[in-house]
Amino acid sequence: MNTPEWQPGSWRSLVAAQQPDYDDPAAVEAALALLSGKPPIVAPGEVDRLRADLAMAAEGRRFVLQGGDCAERFEECTASNLTRLLQVLLQMSLVLTYATRKPVIRIGRIAGQYAKPRSKGVEVVDGAELPVYRGDLINDMAPTVEARHADPKRMVEGYHHATASLNFIRGLIEGGFADLHHPQQWDLDFIEQSPDSDAYNKIIDAITDAVKFMTTVGEGGMLETLRRVSFYTSHEALLLPYEQAMTRRTAGEWHNLGAHFLWVGYRTCQTDGAHVEYLRGVRNPVGIKVGPNMPTADLIEILDRIDPGREAGRVTLITRFGANRVGECLPAYLHAVGHAGHPVVWLCDPMHGNTRATADGHKTRHVADIFSELEQTFEMHASVGTCLGGVHFELTGSPVTECVGGSGGVRAQQLGDCYQTACDPRLNGAQALEMAFLIARLLR
Ligand code: PEP
Ligand code: CO
How far is the centre of ligand 1, averaged over its atoms, from the C-alpha of 325 (Å)? 17
pLDDT-derived band at 219 (thresholds 50, 70, 90) equals low
pLDDT at 216: 79
Q: Please tell me if the CB atom of residue 70 comes closer than 6 angstroms to any atom of ligand 1.
A: yes
3 state SS of 131: strand
178 pLDDT more than 60: no
Hey, which of 107, 120, 289 would you mutate to test ligand 1's pocket, going by the most ligand atoms within 8 Å of its Cβ? 289
Averaged pLDDT for residues 371-395: 98
pLDDT digits (tens, 9 = 90+) for 241-299: 999 999 999 999 999 999 999 999 999 999 999 999 999 999 999 999 999 999 999 99
Which DSSP letter does residue 359 get?
Answer: T
How far is the centre of ligand 2, averaged over its atoms, from the C-alpha of 71 (Å)? 7
Which DSSP letter does residue 183 get?
Answer: G
pLDDT at 318: 99
- For the chain, which residues make up each domain, given as ranges? 10-178+228-443
Measured between alpha carbons, how far is 167 from 84 in angstroms, rounded to an integer?
16
Select 10-178+228-443's CATH number: 3.30.465.10, 3.20.20.70, 1.10.3720.10, 1.20.1090.10: 3.20.20.70
Closest ligand 1 atom to the C-alpha of 392? 2
Measured between alpha carbons, how far is 270 from 217 in angstroms, rounded to an integer?
53
Q: Please tell me if the CB atom of residue 289 comes closer than 6 angstroms to any atom of ligand 1.
A: yes
pLDDT at 350: 98
3 state SS of 132: coil
3 state SS of 231: coil
pLDDT digits (tens, 9 = 90+) for 102-149: 999 999 999 999 999 999 999 999 999 999 999 999 999 999 999 999
Closest ligand 1 atom to the C-alpha of 424? 3
Q: Please tell me if the CB atom of residue 331 comes closer than 6 angstroms to any atom of ligand 1.
A: no
Closest ligand 1 atom to the C-alpha of 318? 9
As a whole number of Å, the CA-based R_g of the chain is 21
Which DSSP letter does residue 40 get?
Answer: P
Neighbours of 411 (CB within 10 A): 10
- For the question of whether the overall pTM of this predicted structure is more than 0.95, the answer is yes
Q: Please tell me if the CB atom of residue 426 comes closer than 6 angstroms to any atom of ligand 1.
A: no
pLDDT at 196: 87
Q: In sequence order, what DSSP letters do the residues of 147-182 get, joined into one string?
A: TTS--THHHHHHHHHHHHHHHHHHHHHHT--GGGG-
pLDDT-derived band at 182 (thresholds 50, 70, 90) equals confident
217 pLDDT more than 90: no
Q: Please tell me if the CB atom of residue 241 comes closer than 6 angstroms to any atom of ligand 1.
A: no
Which DSSP letter does residue 421 get?
Answer: -
Give, in order, the Cα–Cα distances in Å from 368 to each of 351, 371, 425: 11, 5, 14
